Homo-oligomer: A and B are copies of this chain.
Amino acid sequence: MAGESSLELRSIVTSGAKLEMSLETVAVPEPKDDEVLIRVEAAPINPSDLGLLIGPADVSTLEVTGSGNNVKATMDIPEAMMGAMQARMDQSLPAGNEGAGIVVAAGANAQALIGETVGVAGGSMYSQFRCVAASNCLVMNEGTSAAEGASCFVNPLTALGMVETMKMENHSALVHTAAASNLGQMLVKICLADEVQLVNIVRKTEHVELLKSLGAVHVCNSSDPGFMTELIDALVATGATVAFDATGGGKLAGQILTAMEVAANKTAKEYSRYGSTTHKQVYIYGGLDRSPTTFNRAFGMAWGIGGWLLTPFIQKVGQDKFQELRQRVADEIKTTFASHYTREVSLAEALSADAIKAYAKQATGEKYLIMPHK
């Protein structure tokens, strides 16, 4: 491969308050002793990729110029958000948290991986070739394609991480919002298999039906007028005291805590002046709703809201557990952890105006897969 070139997607914030996405050609790297070179065949665009790809840029100002591999997408960044951009200013950053491909070269200690289809959370996966540590690769089972393995990390391990976090923090059931997402569907299947009670919160009637068709027991629609009552009933039935919220903004996190408090007090024998002593926790792991988070603290004093991110979870859970979870993903990649894509695009097509507008929306059921060699 030495001497060949690799195309990769880049995002840059300029001091002129612009965000630019473009393609760069770089030399194919040479794997070191413990590394492998992957020919990347497929890499999904996850919500967690958008922070780096698009950041706080205003998609309504999008302009796309050039064509083919010279395409360039430009957007304005609101002036108020520029302060938070200082650390990445004027740096051309590669993107793409995860993907899958074929190992086409390997260092001295990783020769056994040559020819294998592997999934990896390597960063910079919107590239034609990517060099990563062999130990980071999840080898797919015989018969798994790169497209099938492309989303083997972020969503599967986040879903598994929610269930593990629930157990580690002594909760016995959990709540999930934006529950009809790819990740949400995985979580429904995991919870059914592992006999963990799950309360799903969705925003549309068709999503209630989708999740029920997968076997979900508790599905509450936040657009229903009776949402709070439904949610309280589901919390009483399951005893869920931890929630994972993909929306982040608005009132939902506070509504969940309030419903948990009401559910806890329904079984309380005595008035407690500071509210129920049951600890109620909401972890915000996404920002589908960009509006401010707001809540009225009508849920006693035993509560927490916080950010939840996969990487610190993996550090906390330890290497053995992490390997066990990864192997489960490889073994169930066509069932529990199957992902669905609405579009497969080349690197250049990923920078078309239509594509950017579509994936920036993060609509449930809309998902793009980049095929760097298409």
Tally of chain A residues near chain B (CB < 8 A): 43
Q: Which of B87, B294, B302 contacts A271 (CB 8 A)?
A: B87
Which residues in window 228-275 of A have CB below 8 A to B?
248-249, 254, 262, 265, 268, 270-274
Which residues of chain B have C-beta atoms less than 8 A from A301's C-beta? 285, 307-309
Closest-by-CB residue of B relative to A270 is B87
Known A52-B273, A93-B271, A305-B306: A297·B249 in contact at CB below 8 Å: yes
Distance in angstroms between the alpha carbons of A291 and B287 in the assembled complex: 23
The answer, yes or no, to whether A65 is at the interface (CB within 8 Å) is no
Question: Is A304 engaged at the interface, CB distance under 8 Å to the other chain?
Answer: yes
Determine whether the beta carbon of A294 is less than 8 Å from that of B292.
Answer: yes
**Contact between chains at B293 and A296 (CB < 8 Å):** yes
Say what secondary structure dominates the interface of chain A. Answer: mixed
Chain B residues positioned under 8 Å from A93 (CB to CB): 271
A300 to B285, alpha carbons, bound, how many Å?
A: 11
**Docked pose: A218 CA to B86 CA in angstroms:** 26
In the bound complex, CA of A287 to CA of B303 (Å): 14
Is A295's CB within 8 Å of the partner chain B?
Answer: yes
Which listed residue (B51, B268, B274, B307) contacts A309, Cβ 8 A?
B274
A265 touches B86 (CB 8 A): yes
A334 to chain B, nearest CB (A): 30
Contact A84 B51 (CB under 8 A): no
A87-B270, A292-B295, A292-B297 known; 10 new pairs, CB 8 Å cut-off, are A83-B262, A87-B268, A87-B271, A91-B271, A254-B292, A274-B309, A274-B311, A285-B301, A301-B308, A304-B305
Given known contacts A87-B265, A274-B309, A305-B305, is B297 in contact with A294 (CB within 8 Å)?
no
- Inter-chain CA distance A285–B294, complex, in Å, is 18
A225 is an interface residue with CB less than 8 A from chain B: no
Query: Is A284 interfacial (CB-CB < 8 Å)?
Result: yes
A interface, CB within 8 angstroms of B: 51-52, 83-84, 86-88, 91, 93, 248-249, 254, 262, 265, 268, 270-274, 277, 284-285, 287, 292-298, 300-309, 311-312
B residues less than 8 Å from A277 (CB atoms): 312
Q: Which residue of B lies closest to A301 (CB)?
A: B307
CB distance from A157 to the nearest CB of B (A): 15
**Which 9 pairs from chain A and chain B are nearest by CB?**
A304-B306, A301-B307, A88-B271, A87-B271, A294-B294, A301-B309, A52-B273, A292-B296, A292-B294
Q: For the complex, give the distance between the alpha carbons of A363 and B277 in Å.
A: 28
What's the nearest-Cβ distance from chain B to residue A127, in Å?
Answer: 16
- Chain B residue at minimum C-beta to C-beta distance from A55: B273
Does A298 lie within 8 Å of B51, measured CB to CB? no
Q: In the bound complex, what is the Cα–Cα distance between A254 and B249 (angstroms)?
A: 13
Chain B residues, CB < 8 A from A297: 248-249, 284, 287, 292-293, 307
| Nearest chain B residue, comparing its CB with the CB of A274 | B309
Cα distance, A199 to B295, chains bound together (Å): 26
CB contacts (< 8 Å) of A262 on chain B: these are 83
Report B-chain residues with C-beta under 8 Å of the C-beta of A273.
51-52
